[in-house]
Amino acid sequence: MEVAISAEVCVERRSTMMDDKRCVVDTNVLVYSTVSSCPWHREARLWLAALVDKGIELCITPQIVREYLVVLTRGDIFERRFTPEEALSELEAILPTFTLLNETEETVFYLQSLIRRYQIQGKAIHDANIVATMLSYGISRLATYNLNDFRRFQEIELEPRYQGADGDETHRYR
């Protein structure tokens, strides 16, 4: 297999072409906006609405879709387990709001570069893959409650939470 472009070339090329009118929405924000019993449900919904009001295009990846379905159907989130049909129904209801960003060959190069640069291993590679997908589309903004998982990535900006948030940065669903 012949490789046409290296990870380093991808990173260098995209660093000057970032799009500030799009934002990737992490799984936790989607879950919190869906599960009404979640303490951050209202805030997550307001956060997404505020981004749309600012003219920001909301984006997700197939990985985020998979994680969303896993979390909803696993049943250990806020004492609510969605059936597969309920989870799919929720997904179908929100999908039109988001642009789906598929992984590309360039995403793989970015992932390799990020793993090398930050010495990433284990489950953190999932987060690196989200960042790699963002970079392959020239997107620098990420809306997430899991700030600690993404702070290491100097290539992206973490979207400020909706005004009026309680300041807690340790929201976890995994």
What pLDDT was estimated at residue 168? Answer: 45
Q: 58 pairs with which residues across the strands?
A: 23
Instruction: Return all residues near 126 (Cβ < 8 A) that are at least 6 apart.
Output: 63, 67
User: Domain 7-158 sits in which CATH superfamily?
Assistant: 5'-nuclease (3.40.50.1010)
Is the whole-model pTM more than 0.95?
no
Q: How far is CA 89 from CA 30, 67, 160, in A?
A: 14, 15, 29
Among the residue ranges 91-95, 158-162, 163-167, the one predicted with the least confidence is 163-167
For 11, the token pair is 């990173």
Amino acid at 18: M
Q: 142 pairs with which residues across the strands?
A: 24, 158
Mean pLDDT, residues 59-83 taken together: 91
Sign of the torsion formed by the C-alpha atoms of 79, 148, 69 and 49:
positive
pLDDT, mean over the chain: 87
Q: Is 10 exposed, middle or buried (0-12, 13-18, 19+ CB in 10 A)?
A: buried
The DSSP output letter for 123 is T
The DSSP output letter for 162 is P
Instruction: Return all residues near 53 (Cβ < 8 A) that are at least 6 apart.
Output: none
pLDDT 10s digits, 74-128: 977 777 889 999 999 999 999 999 999 999 999 999 999 999 999 999 999 999 9
Task: State the Rg of the chain over Cα.
Answer: 16
Domain range summary for the chain, segments of one domain joined by +? 7-158
Instruction: Note whether 172 and 29 are within 8 A (CB).
Output: no
